[in-house]
Amino acid sequence: GAVVSQHPSRVICKSGTSVKIECRSLDFQATTMFWYRQFPKQSLMLMATSNEGSKATYEQGVEKDKFLINHASLTLSTLTVTSAHPEDSSFYICSARVSGSFNQPQHFGDGTRLSIL
Amino acid sequence: DAKTTQPNSMESNEEEPVHLPCNHSTISGTDYIHWYRQLPSQGPEYVIHGLTSNVNNRMASLAIAEDRKSSTLILHRATLRDAAVYYCILNSGGSNYKLTFGKGTLLTVNP
């Protein structure tokens, strides 16, 4: 089955640090990847849609200069949280769709738990 | 995408069937019904999806009402590993296939 690998699984760092999270589709090509954020006891909230070879599309209220997304290949998208602060602490999850598929499911990574001290 | 309504929580006993309901009265003709589940501290996992006909796979069955305004996810024999939050999501394939997650149903499985 389609596998999405997310790295790292957990990050603890000081306030002001920039953190990069990688999302890889291991056995399929993904033209589109998605980045979500989930706070404790809440549901997933879509942050942005990452499109290979073009700029990401951000959801309303998500700062594009704060959350930098790069999707340079059909198997890799990265999310960089720039100058992270304690309020950015959250569970970040990526997902990917198989390129060219119609209404097929998204495949999710295992998430990255980010803790900013 | 149209909204779905699910119970906040449900409880089941191990090895018994579980029926998780989902109401989607404003579903459009092109909306597929997707089910995902999320185990604690993990990303969501795809369970099943369908359009009009009932669907079966190795994980579950999806029963879709004739008017498509509701559906039921059926776990035939619940195990402790099935304890998770189950999300029912409608998706028409538009807007780059974005998924909008609601609060889902927290399923507790008792041994």
pLDDT at residue B94, as a whole number:
63
Which are the contacts of A26, defined by CB distance < 8 A and separation ≥ 6? A3, A4, A5, A75
Mean pLDDT of B104-108: 98
User: Which residues on adjacent β-strands are paired with residue A90?
Assistant: A114
**Are residues B68 and B27 in contact, defined by beta-carbon separation less than 8 angstroms?**
yes
Residues (pLDDT < 50) of chain A are none
Under DSSP, the state recorded for A88 is: G
The pLDDT of residue B2 is above 90: no
Greater confidence (A27 vs B105) lies with: B105
- B14–chain A Cβ distance below 8 A for any pair: no
pLDDT at site A22: 97
Q: Which of B99, B105, B106 would you mutate first to test chain A, the one with the most A CBs within 10 A?
A: B99
Q: How far apart are CA B40 and CA B82, in angstroms?
A: 11
Exposed, middle or buried, B2 (CB in 10 Å: 0-12/13-18/19+)? Answer: middle
pLDDT of residue B98: 83
Chain B touched by A8 (CB under 8 Å): no
State how far the Cα of A96 lies from the Cα of A78, in Å rounded to an integer. Answer: 12
Strand, coil or helix: what is A68? strand
Instruction: Using an 8 Å CB-CB cutoff, list chain B residues near A102.
Output: 93
Cα separation, A38 vs B97, whole angstroms: 19
Nearest to B102 among A43, A57, A102 (CB): A43
Q: Write down the pLDDT at residue A18.
A: 97
Report residue A73 as tokens: 């290949």
A2-15 burial, b at 16+ Cβ within 10 Å, e below that, comes to bebebeeeebeeee
- H/E/C letters for each residue in A16-65? CCCEEEEEEECCCCCCEEEEEEECCCCCCEEEEEEECCCCCEECCCCCCC
Sheet holding A4-7, edge to edge: A4-7, A19-25, A76-81, A67-73
pLDDT of B1 higher than 60: no
Q: Does B5 touch chain A (CB under 8 A)?
A: no
Distance CA A82, CA B45 (A): 29
A106–B contact, CB cutoff 8 A: yes
Query: What backbone torsions phi and psi does residue B82 show, to the nearest 5 degrees?
Result: -85, -5
pLDDT tens column, B6-34 = 999 999 999 999 999 999 999 998 899 99
The backbone torsions φ and ψ at residue A46, rounded to the nearest 5 degrees and listed phi first, read: -70, 130
Using one digit for the tens of pLDDT, what is the confidence trace for B42-97? 999 999 999 999 999 999 999 999 999 999 999 999 999 999 999 999 987 665 67
Nearest CA in chain B to A98: B97
The residue of A4, A5, A43 whose CB has the most chain B CBs within 10 angstroms, and thus the best one to mutate to test that interface, is: A43
Q: Which residues pair with A35 in a beta bridge?
A: A48, A94
Contact B42 A107 (CB under 8 A): no
pLDDT for position B96: 60
